[in-house]
Structure formats: C-alpha cells, structure tokens
Amino acid sequence: MYSCTECKKCFSTRKYLRHHMNIHSSKYKCSECGKSYSSRQSLTTHRRSHTGDKPFECSVCGKRFATAGSLTVHSRIHSGEKLYKCLLCDSSFNIRSHLYIHMIIHTGDKSYNCSLCDKNFSTSSSLQRHERRIHSNVRPHLCSYCGKHFVTIDELKSHVLVHTGAKSFSCRHCSERFMRLIQLKTHLLKSHNEGTWFMCHMCKKKFTHKCYLKRHIQQHEGVKPYVCDECPKRFCTAGELKRHQLVHSDYRQFSCFLCNSQFKRKDVAMHHVKKCSALHGISCLLL
C-alpha cells in the first residue's frame, strides 16, 4: 500500500499515488466544495456532481452518468464482461478496484480498525460502512414511496425497486429480465451454466454466491459472531440477529388491511393476510 503524505489516503500502486498527489498541488479548485484537480477537464467533470448534469445515458436501462468512463463501467453489468481476473483463483470482476479488494482475501490484510468495537476491515470504505450501519442511528436517505429511511443511497436504490418493479438486468441468452444483478447471476448459473459455483469443502454443497457459502461454513464451524444486546444469544449472520431482535421489541410495522391485526415480521403478516382473505372470500394478490 502506498500512502499519501498529505491526507493519508492509501493506494495499491505508486502510479495511482502519483496521480492522486496532483490533487494537492493543482490549481483548478471547485468553488462549491474546495476540492482541487490537476486539469480543467477534471474540474468540469467534478462540477457535474453539484449541478446534477449527467449527459451520458445507458441504452439498456436508461441510467445516466456524469462521465463516459462511468457509463463504460456500468455497461459491463449488462454485458457480463469481466476484464479483471484474479491470478490466484477463478474470480473475475468488471471493475479494477473490485479486484484489488478481492485480493485482500488472499493476503488477509485487515489494517482498518473500528475504534468502537475492535472489528478489523480490509478497506477504509468497509470500515466507514460498518460505522454507519452499526454505530450510527443516522438514516438520511428517505424513500419517497413509503417514507422509510436508509443509511446509504445504495440501500435506498435497492429498496425502491420493491415499489417500481423495474427490471434493468436482462439475460443475453434468453428473454428473462431481473430487478437485481444478483438475481441475474443466479439465473446464468442455474439456467445457462455460466459463472462459477462456490462449493463447501466439508459437505460439497454448491452455492451461487460466495456470501451464501461463507454463511454455510459458519454453521459447520459453529461460528456465531453476532451477539444480541438484550440476551446472551448468538447468531451466524446479521440477518438472523435482526430477526431475533424483534422478540425484544413491541414495534409492529406490518398490518392486515382486513382486520387490522398487526405483526412484527413481514412473512408472518403475509401468511395471515392470505388466510384472512380466504375467510372473507377475497382473492388477495400480494405484491
């Protein structure tokens, strides 16, 4: 890792560090936020983040971008093109930075420490994401459809798909379309045998995504890093802990539109509404 002496930001190569150092010595400064750039073109591109100008549009999903480079990287999501391959395993990525982050899996480097819970992370962005989600109650991103708040803009974008139903990811082998990239990757593996399966070395069970394999291996090893604040129970995943914490809460956010019964969990509420609809002779379509 190469560290900037001015702002302590780290880079994977000396070339990227030299390019970054131009920021501190450049003469093109943004009047809005004070950031500096080494060229007038870079400053012009940056100013679009303040004006909202996004002249480059994706021909597949209509998403717009401030730079041609951002559009090129985005288009790989639809094409499935992965230029950056790991030399130590079969993984490949459509963005160079994702490959660098992946390589930390092989090196085991976790030099970013959380000062609140002593957890270690491989990148500064992972640490910042952890601090926002776990140690902060600030949720600045509001859903305009239902009023629900989210920690990050990416979480909000993922949630909005529930309301819009937009299916931006299409399969290049058939006519199937999907709302999320992870759904497309699963489809490509199962239907067209494209991609890499992740196999458990203990029981040979196969998974479509590495996160599912990791969760599965934790069950084999009995690792339960997520501890409830209200009781001594421990869990393998953050999702399991979140579901458990409903036991200690009286908050019931889901309700039946027929009898006004309230529920803590969405799946329990959906099951109830189906039964309640049948009792009232109503055909209920659950979205």
Residue type, 218: Q
> Are the beta carbons of 36 and 26 closer than 8 angstroms?
yes
Strand, helix or coil for residue 195: coil
Closest CA to 30 of 44, 14, 18: 44
For Cα atoms 130, 136, 139, give the angle at the middle one, nearest 5 degrees.
Answer: 100
Residue type, 125: S
Q: Which residues pair with 149 in a beta bridge?
A: 142
Q: How far apart are CA 135 and CA 150, in angstroms?
A: 14
DSSP state of 81: -
Local confidence pLDDT in tens for the 287 residues of the chain: 677 777 767 777 788 787 777 767 666 777 777 777 777 787 888 788 777 788 888 887 778 888 888 888 888 877 777 888 888 777 788 788 778 777 776 776 777 778 777 777 777 777 777 777 777 777 778 888 888 888 777 788 888 887 888 888 888 889 999 888 888 888 988 899 888 888 888 888 888 888 788 888 877 877 777 778 778 888 877 778 878 877 887 777 777 877 878 887 878 888 888 888 887 776 544 43
* Helix residue ranges, H only, 112-265: 124-134, 153-164, 181-192, 210-221, 238-245
Full-prediction pTM beyond 0.85? no
Query: What pLDDT is recorded for position 287?
Result: 36
The per-residue pLDDT for 286 is 40
Residues 177 and 170: their CA atoms lie apart, in Å, by: 4
Hey, what are 244's tokens?
Answer: 């458990």
Rounded CA separation 183/185 (Å): 5
Burial of 184 (0-12, 13-18, 19+ CB in 10 A): buried
How many angstroms separate the CA atoms of 133 and 139, rounded?
A: 9
Rounded Cα distance between 147 and 163, Å, is: 12
Q: What is the CA radius of gyration of the chain?
A: 23
Residue of 52, 77, 32, 109 whose CA lies nearest to 182:
77
Take residue 249 and report the two structure tokens written for it. Answer: 């809460």
Give all domains of the chain, ordered by start, each with its CATH number.
1-53 (3.30.160.60), 137-196 (3.30.160.60), 200-249 (3.30.160.60), 250-287 (no CATH)
